[in-house]
Amino acid sequence: MHGALVDNTTTTGPTIPLTWSPDMPGNATAVPHMAVPDMPASPMYPGPLVLDCPVHQFASIWHTSNLTHCDLLKIDVEGMEMDVLKGIPRELWAQICRVVVEVHEETTVKQVVQVLETQGGFVHVRHVQGQTGSRNCLVVAHP
């Protein structure tokens, strides 16, 4: 499991509860209502688990990794897109060439587009069909 990349000004404490399903590890989320319905419980699979997930600021990871440039920043954080975007310091946006954000809720799409448009450049929204029939959006930006 990877640590969550969120701005700690919007998340209190060093961890957040993360709902994780062993049968669907890519469906981990800090926003449980966004999770895909799980498989029926069985003796080998009791259902989703709630784990404490470490929270790290974007800038902290950027600087401790000694990054100076990012060709593509892919954000797929199951409902916490705005937390990640708000946690990117203004001075780092100039080092990011392209951003792709996977978004599941239409109201969040509008917020993500607004944040990315403030960075200048081109922003495009592409609607895609999710695995379970849900409608997802990919917001692509070239700040």
60-101 residue pLDDT tens: 889 999 999 999 999 988 788 998 999 899 999 999 999 999
Confidence of residue 54 (pLDDT cuts 50, 70, 90): confident
Predicted TM-score (pTM) of the model is: 0.73
The answer to whether residues 85 and 75 touch, using CB atoms and an 8 Å cutoff, is yes
d(CA 66, CA 61): 8
Q: Span 108-120, mean pLDDT?
A: 91
pLDDT at 133: 59
| Mean pLDDT, the chain, whole residue set | 78
Tally the domains of the chain. Answer: 1
Q: Which two tokens stand for residue 56?
A: 């790290």
Closest CA relative to residue 95, chosen from 125, 124, 65: 65
pLDDT at 106: 79
Query: What domain range is 112 assigned to?
Result: 4-142
Q: In the chain, pLDDT over 90 holds for what percent of residues?
A: 34
Q: How far is CA 49 from the centre of its chain?
A: 19
One-letter amino acid of 82? M
CATH code for the domain of 78: 3.40.50
